């Protein structure tokens, strides 16, 4: 009944993808990867599986739908629709059960920085589940949210997004995801390379910035200290919860100092900013 956030790594330690793996039963796991990386990830996992006996890998993407119900009222909205005691499902744990008569995996996970649940079900049932969730949540002002809204939430929470903070040119230690890398749990692909990075220290580090002047930071904008380019933003947007213009990016490790004043090159204009502690926003427990 437990889930784990982790990464698929190349032999050199860089990131194929980040994902959540679910322990469904003894020797039975479900990998939930980024939708844009399904084919790449499946090919990689299938290739590695041939190095082990009795490992069978199946791509069930087309037979699995996912809805994320996120926010402080998520449990209040969902509980009347299921007999599963949602309060007993801890963060990054899950339970099978029916929601509104539909067979689901009910997972206390999400990528918004808020409490909430992710519901896995058959595609044929997802339309009904969507409509009934919206109806149940109407008194609580539940609204549909697209990827743009999700992106500002994960940015405020300091969560990495693949193809931005994580790529096949970036390793988890540079991305401040060292807490997900367990060197004492046996061998894994990329272990030796990441151990070397840990011993020597990463050459660059992920940082958060807040603008001190008017402007909107975006991914791809250069980061300067005085006249010296020291890195690049990977994400940036207005933070509606923190009421600030915020961004994340990579700078040379020697410049990754909280409180340091920097400048963001916004369309040719150097805009004052400051390196700040991540995350920008942390929900009340």
| Per-residue model confidence (pLDDT) at position 3 | 98
> Which segments of the chain belong to CATH 3.30.1360.120?
3-153
Q: Residue 224 in contact with residue 272, Cβ under 8 Å?
A: no
Q: Prior bond to 279 cis, omega within 30?
A: yes
- Which residues, including other chains, have CB under 8 Å from residue 192's CB and lie 6 or more apart? none
Please check whether residue 205 is in contact with residue 176, taking contact to mean a CB–CB distance below 8 angstroms: yes
Say what the alpha-carbon torsion angle 202, 204, 205, 207 is, to the nearest 10 degrees. Answer: 170
The label of the residue with tokens 């860089």 reads 14
Kindly state which CATH superfamily the domain 204-285 is placed in: Aminomethyltransferase beta-barrel domains (2.40.30.110)
Q: What is the pLDDT of residues 44-54, one digit of tens each?
A: 999 999 999 99
Name the architecture of domain 3-153: 2-Layer Sandwich (3.30)
Does 285 score more than 70 pLDDT?
Answer: no
Maximum C-alpha span of the chain: 62
Residues of the chain within CATH 2.40.30.110 domain(s) are 204-285
Q: pLDDT tens, 9-54?
A: 999 999 999 999 999 999 999 999 999 999 999 999 999 999 999 9
pLDDT class for 226, splitting at 50, 70, 90? very high
Residue 224: pLDDT above 70?
A: yes
The span from the CA of 208 to the CA of 248, in Å, is 4
| Predicted local distance difference test score (pLDDT) of residue 284 | 80
Q: What residues pair up with 238 in beta bridges, in sequence order?
A: 245
Q: Cα dist. 137→67, 77, 78, 191, 201 in Å?
A: 14, 6, 8, 45, 47
Distances (CA, A) of 259 to 13, 208, 234, 275: 30, 10, 19, 5
Q: What pLDDT sits at residue 107?
A: 98
Beta bridge partners of 232: 222, 250
263 pLDDT above the threshold of 70: yes
Total-model pTM: 0.95
**pLDDT 10s digits, 68-103:** 999 999 999 999 999 999 999 999 999 999 999 999
Q: 173-178 — which CB contacts under 8 Å span 24+ positions? A: 173/13, 173/197, 173/198, 173/202, 174/202, 174/203, 174/204, 174/205, 174/206, 174/250, 175/15, 175/206, 176/205, 176/206, 176/278, 177/7, 177/18
Average pLDDT over residues 161-177: 98
DSSP 25-63: ETTEEEEEE-GGGHHHHHHHHHHHHTTSTT------GGG
Counted residue by residue, the chain has a size of 285
CA dist 73 and 69 (Å) reads 9
- Give the model's confidence band at 163: pLDDT under 50 very low, under 70 low, under 90 confident, else very high: very high
């Amino acid at each position: 009944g437990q889930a784990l956030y982790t990464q698929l790594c190349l032999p050199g330690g860089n990131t194929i993808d980040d994902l959540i793996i679910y322990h469904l039963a003894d020797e039975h796991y479900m990998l939930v990867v980024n939708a844009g990386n399904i084919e790449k990830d499946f090919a990689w996992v299938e290739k590695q599986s041939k190095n082990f006996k009795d490992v069978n890998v199946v791509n069930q993407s087309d037979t699995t739908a996912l809805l994320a119900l996120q926010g402080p009222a998520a449990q209040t909205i969902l509980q009347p629709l299921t007999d599963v005691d949602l309060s007993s499902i801890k963060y990054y744990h899950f339970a099978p059960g029916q929601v509104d008569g539909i067979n689901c995996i009910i997972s206390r996970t999400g990528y918004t920085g808020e409490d909430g649940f992710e519901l896995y079900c058959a595609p044929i049932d997802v339309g009904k589940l969507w409509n009934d969730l919206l109806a149940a949540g109407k008194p609580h002002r539940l609204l549909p949210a697209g990827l743009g809204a999700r992106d500002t939430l994960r940015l405020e929470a300091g969560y990495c997004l693949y193809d931005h903070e994580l790529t096949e040119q970036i390793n988890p230690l540079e991305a401040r995801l060292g807490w997900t890398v367990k060197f004492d749990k046996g061998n894994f692909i990329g272990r030796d390379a990441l151990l070397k990075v840990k011993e020597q220290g990463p050459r660059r580090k992920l940082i958060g910035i807040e603008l001190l002047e008017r402007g909107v930071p975006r991914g791809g904008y250069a980061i300067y200290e005085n006249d010296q380019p020291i890195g690049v933003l990977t994400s940036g947007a207005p933070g509606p919860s923190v009421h600030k213009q915020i961004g994340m990016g990579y700078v040379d490790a020697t410049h990754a100092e909280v409180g340091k004043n920097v400048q963001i090159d916004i369309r040719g204009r150097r805009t004052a900013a400051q390196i700040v502690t991540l995350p920008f926003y942390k929900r009340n427990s």
